[in-house]
Structure 1
């Protein structure tokens, strides 16, 4: 049996190669899924317009169409009238079906036959051969995802319509059996057009095409060869010496694009090479769990930004990783306030943890809550009593609300850290308007329509701006007894200015922008009491039924688990390598840690900081596993601060660059969409925002849970 060291080295070598091959394969699949549908649509529309224009012109002048069918391009085995009717019908109906991707194979077959008749009965042109090649592709392969065929496929398959299921089976068999042969024939045909044994003395375009032609024929480095040929054609100018050459080059680019995105098919050297590499370096998913049994165990507690980054950073390390979280989802906290104010749904800002590690074989995800850590025997103890051994421990447990010793305020002023908090705040917020609509007492109605946010950091500023815009615009016209625009929103900040982490000028801009929206900004104002009737601010009583807390946070009880020193906010004091003093194999990152790695200043509790720390710890653990020492200390690179103020303004600070207004708002939006961990969520959030921005409509105004 291999020793642990030998197994670890072997594991790493195979892991690196297999992961690289997997990443290449994933990149190709992503490129195909992203770009092929648009190329497919472009080709269909291009071909459709050619035949559509021809058919419409003949319909507009039927006598001329009959004359052409009789004298210019007669079909020997059809009379002129029949030939004209059939030709025009195929051109008009077939082109429409092809453009919409409806019955695409049948439409392509009809137009293919028409093209062959034109080529062999009327006028032989290279252009017609390119048409035939493209129509043949659609007959065998069908339309891409941007088509009615794909849109209706699932519904038709489950319907009682006749011939649907037999046709679907026929199409699938056609693609499966003839698809590889057609892909091979297409490659060989293009290669034959360009092949020349002598490349010296030819133009750059001819030399490139001559070089790639044998690669296309063999199916070796096919995608790269096809892209190179297409770029050469475009570089030489799609506009050739005349219109005929221009069109021919365009059609060649279309065909090369299909090969580049769909690949060479199974009858190719690339396919053979891929199968051989898979045997030499089997993918991670095929490895037995026993291959990881003897390698060190890294336990990561918390699946926030830092925990995810650490786990992903260990994907090529000779270790197994366990990610423990008391929730089964990763939460994108920067957008949580938008869930609270009914702009986004919880699903838009949360992603199942398991889905994020579906393709990382050395990671397992555990749903559980940590109760304690036994550092002497290196065990993590869960609330259910189970114990997990570790060789390295990474604590990325985040933070919770802090009421500065006044925990009795929490029932009246909920904070915003989890989805449950966001949905509870949304319930209180929307329920306040509903109760005000039914309230006959003017004083009580005013209390219901008064909203107080405690804390002038990014969360408080963004929450205040979102609430006032919801009241002024999102709920406009939906109530009869109250005017939501009359709602009073107050932002209470004990410090002299909002957003203390920002430059003073940007803080002033933020305060002014909020006041312009209608928010009452109370600076140098200390909250002295919060109860069911309202809040006492610097001796002034403010009646309010709805109060939100955005003022302070407290780290998780990680310091209590480890029985080590923590600061006033409960953060673990860590060394330059983010390790807990006295516990070299225990690390703390994110809001859990107090690290002075920002030029001697504490690292801020921001998502980018947690991600940097997670990546650093992963590299450090990886180095130790490989026996490398002398790893440099962690240094935080500040990426800037961002905060949005309603739908028209934001403040952004990147080093010496300070922006505010509309441009800053766009930068804020792009940054937040980019940092979402799921591609689908990036798209859905961007669409939701754009729709809400144009219409002022918020689609998630649901009051869920018990009434308060």
Structure 2
């Protein structure tokens, strides 16, 4: 019973920590942007009417120790240079310090306004504590101190000392200042309670509450919450009623910019907590020593801790490993590659829109902060379920108590594997760079060709498969041909390239609603892509393809028609479906092997209202999270969670610069709105801030200039002349 209660408390605290980690960076950035625009606008106004700025410096707020012209120039420079640095979070403390001085001079030498004091308090915060996670300072913090820049190391030590010793005082200052203002307001209300009730009845009435009760609650909050803020007890909870009161007053009684500043300061307390000088920190230390799980700390691992092995570092495998971060077990993640790949954007690498590093992140860096997780680079060749060990090709054995197979899938050719050398699929980085090589080389070969028929064959691109990958690949190739390569060739016009999308079904994007499929087909046609539905590929060779009896000369063919699961079912000797996926039970465990789980593209699960779970990244992540919960419950001796149920958030596919389709059930989007949504979702789901910022900037540049920046031909500079036998694949990273 106690363990179950602790588990529930742990989950609740985990959710609160997750909300804090998600909200704090954004909140901090919004505060910086607000302060930056306030000062920036003032600087621009001064620059626009410089004579007026000089007049004010001489007569309204003269600085005794500075010449008026010098004072005006310095003030304008501070307001024009500091705000961009503050917004970017670059040299934040150095940028905030002159802005702080300017606020205090304006307050005490010119015009005393609460707004200036609010700005000063917020700027003190940034001078002492620096910018939050969404800042260039945080990005540079690891490498800058060890760089060759003068005073970099000593400066970093100085700033670290400032944060360490002055930071608690700054947080205490904010708490005391807020508490003092609200407490005085509460004393005023209780001294003349009848007037307070009258104000609540006439000026700022609260819906659903009688004026007397609203006045009493407001007075109580303004007397109790400040005391809690001062001593730092239940600090975040104490700040919430004050935020609610501020919002009510601003909405019902008096709308004023000061209320926005109150919300900023109270929000800082909620997002960052009270700081070290508080009872909350003392209590947290006691909880940390008595109940480390509640404090978010990984428990100490005993020598005989259960061994969990996860095979595959894709979405599902990583979700499973991270879900076990606070479980008393040793987790080993095995993958044949050292990186986690964001497969939904792999086609962008294939069409020269992004580089592989933009969508791939080293697995070790993702798990750097998880002490119970170990990463092994290796190629799995089998599983010995009787001995409970994973077999690697180099002869190593990795023992397990619980095994999670997240080995993903590779492209399948429906029994025609001899087509693979001529029609590569798209499942890993090597596939993407090979497709990019063939794609760019086709234009080069066309430029060199003197025979018109051969040139036409080089400029004909066939994509087999009309699912999301095929549609996105066809649209990206059309964009590259029409815009990205414009003006770069002399003998050919890349815009004359023929892009054929071959789909055996009656429509493209068959898993989407029919209207969205029709919209996608129309968008492709507008880009110059020829959509061939109801067509079957009969042969593929070095000279072209045969589609429904018709021969099409094409030197470049790409495969996006089907997938095949990894050999996991063969390793286990377990039942599998027609695509080779392991059949699993309601908890995603393999039939007959309760301590072996399969997730993502490896598993055939009916956890979607009786329907097969789709092979999508969200499905793999949800499966990994569920399996981690099952394993954690087993290790802790708790009741197992409910059977796995996949929750479908929606489907997205993009076609071109302004075209995409989005299906969220009742809500369906097409065109530019769906395109922006598609871009935002994919950027947010990338691993690592560097990748998110890099991809966003790369897309923005390409969108404005119509130029792709990674048009590199790597590998052989001539197309393959003879088919090469397909190398057997023992393991593919999960999707």
- The answer to whether TM tops 0.5 is yes
> Is 1:539 matched with 2:549?
yes
**Relative to 1, partners in 2 of residues 1:488 and 1:691: Cα closer, same or farther, differing over 3 Å?**
same
Deviations 1:309-344 (A, max 9, x none): 333344454543322211122222222212211222
* 1:38 maps to 2:30: yes
Residue 188 (str. 1) matches residue 176 (str. 2): yes
User: Is 2:417 aligned against 1:429?
Assistant: no
Alignment map for 1:126-205 (pairs within 5 Å): 133=121, 137=125, 140=128, 173-196=161-184, 200=190, 201=193, 202=196, 203=215
Deviation at 1:352, TM superposition (A): 2.4
Query: Counterparts of 2:590 and 2:346 in 1: how far apart (Å)?
Result: 30
Q: Structure 2 CA distance, aligned partners of 1:148 and 1:351?
A: 20
Give the structure 2 partner of residue 445 of structure 1.
455
Which position in structure 2 is the counterpart of 1:395? Answer: 405
Matched, 1:364 2:374: yes
Structure 2 equivalent of residue 649 of structure 1: 659
**Are the counterparts in 1 of residues 97 and 123 from structure 2 also a CA contact under 8 Å?**
no
Does 2:211 align with 1:209?
A: no
- Residue equivalent to 2:109: 118
Look up the match of 1:320: 330
> 1:483 deviation in Å?
0.3
Range with greater deviation from structure 2 (382-391 or 393-402)? 393-402
Matched with 1:606 is 616
Residue number in structure 2 paired with 1:222: 235
Matched, 1:556 2:566: yes
Distance 1:631 1:36 in 2: 37
* Aligned equivalent of 1:3: none
Matched residue of 1:434: which SS? Answer: helix
Q: For residues 479 and 489 of structure 1, do their structure 2 counterparts lie closer, same or farther at Cα, with a shift above 3 Å needed?
A: same
**Partners of 1:572 and 1:287 in 2: CA distance:** 32
Aligned residues: 684
Deviation at 1:637, TM superposition (A): 4.8
Shift of residue 652, structure 1, vs aligned partner: 3.9
**In 1, Cα distance between equivalents of 2:673 and 2:104:** 55
- Structure showing greater radius of gyration is 1
Asked if 1:233 corresponds to 2:233, the answer is no
Is this contact kept in 2: 1:45–1:98, CA < 8 A?
Answer: no
Whether the aligned pair in 2 keeps the contact of 1:222 and 1:270 (CA below 8 Å) is yes
Secondary structure in 2 aligned to 1:614?
helix
Task: Identify if the C-alpha distance between structure 1 residues 36 and 430 changes in structure 2 by more than 3 Å, giving closer, same or farther.
Answer: same
Query: How far apart in 1 are the matches of 2:477 and 2:682?
Result: 20
When residues 386 and 16 of structure 1 are mapped into structure 2, their CA distance, relative to the original with a 3 A threshold, is farther
User: Contact 2:35–2:119 at 8 Å: present in 1 too?
Assistant: no
Cα 1:416–1:135 shift into 2, 3 Å: closer
Q: Give the Å deviation of 1:488.
A: 1.0
User: What CA deviation, in whole Å up to 9, does each residue of 1:220-279 have, x standing for no partner?
Assistant: 33344445434433431299879xxx5665655555455555543332223333333333
82-91 vs 554-563, greater mean Cα deviation: 82-91
Give the aligned CA root-mean-square deviation in angstroms: 4.2
Which position in structure 2 is the counterpart of 1:410? Answer: 420
Residues 426 and 432 in structure 2, CA contact (< 8 A), matched pair in contact too:
yes
- CA positional deviation for 1:485: 0.5
Which of 613, 618, 621 is the matching residue for 2:628? Answer: 618
Within the alignment, does 1:342 sit opposite 2:352 as a pair? yes
Q: TM-score, normalised by structure 1?
A: 0.82
Tell me, yes or no, if the aligned pair for 2:297 and 2:326 is still in contact at 8 Å.
no
- For 1:670 and 1:164, locate their aligned partners in 2 and report how far apart those are by CA, in whole Å: 36
1:697 positional shift: 2.4
Query: Normalising by structure 2, what TM-score?
Result: 0.80
Distance (whole Å) between structure 1 residues aligned to residue 319 and residue 339 of structure 2: 15
In structure 1, what is the Cα distance between the partners aligned to 2:388 and 2:443?
A: 53
TM superposition shift of 1:534:
1.6
Give the counterpart of 2:95 among 79, 89, 104: 104
2:385 maps to 375
Matched, 1:464 2:452: no
Q: 1:375 to 1:113 in 2, by over 3 A?
A: closer
CA deviation after TM superposition for structure 1 residue 424, in Å:
0.5
SS of the equivalent of 1:294 reads coil
Q: Which of residues 450, 465, 483 in structure 2 aligns to 1:455?
A: 465
Contact between 2:443 and 2:494, CA under 8 Å: does it hold in 1? yes
Deviation per residue, 1:187-213 (Å, 9 max, x gap):
334323332575653456655433322
Instruction: Give yes or no for contact 1:498–1:510 (8 Å, CA) kept in 2.
Output: yes
Gaps of 5+ in 2: 86-90, 197-214, 720-735
Q: Which residue of 2 aligns with 1:304?
A: 314
Offset at residue 463 of structure 1 (A): 1.4
Q: Return closer, same or farther for 1:530/1:227 CA change in 2, 3 Å cut-off.
A: same
Cα shift readout 1:395-449 (whole Å, capped 9, x = no counterpart):
2211122223332221111111111101110111011112222222222211111
User: Which residue of structure 2 lines up, in the alignment, with residue 697 of structure 1?
Assistant: 707
Distance, in Å, in 2 between the alignment partners of 1:280 and 1:657 is 49
Equivalent residues of 1:652, 1:660 under 8 A apart: yes
Task: Please state whether the residue corresponding to 2:246 is helix, strand or coil.
Answer: helix
CA contact (8 A) 2:23 2:271 kept: yes
| 8 Å Cα contact 1:100/1:148 also seen in 2 | no
**1:288–1:219 CA distance, 2 compared to 1 (3 A):** closer
Equivalent-residue separation in structure 1 for 2:137 and 2:628 (angstroms): 46
Instruction: From 278, 292, 296, give the equivalent of 1:268.
Output: 278
Residue 571 (structure 1) aligns with: 581
Unaligned residue ranges in structure 1 (runs of 5+): 1-5
